[in-house]
Amino acid sequence: MRTHLLAIALALAAPLAAHAQSADLVLCDRVAADPSDPDKPADVKGVAEIAPSDVATAIKFCKQAAGSSRRAMFALGRAYAANRQTAEAIAAWRKAADKGSSAAMVELGVLYGTGAGVAKDEAQARKLFEKAAQAGNPRGVSNLAALGSAGGAAPADPAQARALLGKAAETNAEAQYQLGLMLSEGDGGAKDDVAARALFEKAAAQNHPGALERMGAFAEGGRGGPKDKDAAKAYYERAAALGDDDAKKALERIRCPYAIKDKQGKLVTTLCF
């Protein structure tokens, strides 16, 4: 009889434990998920920076969820970094990277590239960025391009960056935005405003702040497609609501289009409508 009751108790406890683990991950995501982490589910917004008031909560719940989630292990590293526990952050990111977290690879690469908390090692940074880029992480691609060739003796290869971004851009908004920038500026190949605008539009549809701002600029200037001031303003407003400073400046410029200057060319005032 006791054995039967024990079996029932264990059967009931299993889903409860799973639910508790899931709750830990939900809370970890809520306060510490990185918006640019490819592991992040689409319904998780993420935070650009962990709020000081949330650091202790992030460490607690991300640590509890980290045993079965590389995303939580990466977020735990973010929480430690926000708490200025550099050694703990590095240890968490290494564990997450070992489990395949491309976001953790990028963070470690940044540390090695800058010598923050570890001995500066550009070769190691390059390896980490390459591995992250191969996994489709857009930050890995852009950081790899910024590093240049081995040892930093030659400039970066924008053409290679374009190729890597092209693969990541199939599904990732940040990659779409970064590739759009390269196409709009002619980096790594021919300039193509039409293709750039299409990429910005895809990323903007996913509420990428930078892409929304670029769509506003392209619509305002008629780059790569029709000129539409109303659409431009709408894009700027969406980007500004997400905190994009360039979009905020563009909205102010639209609101106050006329500048009054003195004889020396110094701004006296603006006329706003």
Confidence of residue 8 (pLDDT cuts 50, 70, 90): very low
pLDDT at 85: 97
Confidence of residue 133 (pLDDT cuts 50, 70, 90): confident
Residues 81, 87: Cα–Cα separation, whole Å: 9
Q: Which residue has the higher pLDDT, 6 or 71?
A: 71
Q: CB under 8 Å to 174, separation ≥6 — which residues?
A: 36, 138, 139, 203, 208
Which of 11-25, 151-165, 191-205 bottoms out in mean pLDDT, i.e. has the lowest?
A: 11-25
Residue with tokens 């930078």: 210
At 267 the three-state DSSP class reads strand
Residues 239, 205: Cα–Cα separation, whole Å: 11
pTM of the model: 0.61
At 35 the three-state DSSP class reads coil
Q: Is 209 exposed, middle or buried (0-12, 13-18, 19+ CB in 10 A)?
A: buried
Q: Which residue has the higher pLDDT, 6 or 190?
A: 190
pLDDT of residue 188 exceeding 50, the answer is yes
Asked whether the beta carbons of 131 and 102 are under 8 A apart, the reply is yes
Q: CB under 8 Å to 247, separation ≥6 — which residues?
A: 209, 212, 213, 216, 235, 236, 237, 238, 239, 240
* Amino acid found at 78: R
**Cα distance from N-terminal residue to C-terminal residue, the chain:** 82
Residues 134, 145: Cα–Cα separation, whole Å: 13
Asked whether the beta carbons of 99 and 68 are under 8 A apart, the reply is no
Tokens of 55: 């650091």
Residues 139, 75: Cα–Cα separation, whole Å: 16
Q: pLDDT above 90 covers what percent of the chain?
A: 60
pLDDT at 174: 81
pLDDT at 255: 84
Average pLDDT of the chain, as a whole number: 85
pLDDT of residue 266 exceeding 80, the answer is no
CA proximity to 91, closest of 82, 109, 104, 102: 104
Asked whether the beta carbons of 123 and 89 are under 8 A apart, the reply is no
Confidence of residue 19 (pLDDT cuts 50, 70, 90): very low
Residues 130, 140: Cα–Cα separation, whole Å: 7
User: Could you count the other beta carbons within 10 Å of the beta carbon of residue 35?
Assistant: 14
pLDDT at 271: 62
Q: Which residue has the higher pLDDT, 143 or 248?
A: 248
Q: Taking phi first (over 0 means left), then psi (-120 to 50 degrees means alpha), and beta for anything else, what does residue 35 get?
A: alpha
pLDDT at 1: 44
Tokens of 164: 């890597």
pLDDT at 259: 63
Confidence of residue 164 (pLDDT cuts 50, 70, 90): confident
Which of 120-124, 169-173, 177-181, 218-222 bottoms out in mean pLDDT, i.e. has the lowest?
A: 169-173
Which of 45-59, 123-137, 239-253, 255-269 bottoms out in mean pLDDT, i.e. has the lowest?
A: 255-269
pLDDT at 273: 59
Average confidence (pLDDT) over 26-47? 92
How many CA within 13 A on the CB side of residue 199?
A: 27
Confidence of residue 14 (pLDDT cuts 50, 70, 90): very low
Residues 247, 47: Cα–Cα separation, whole Å: 20
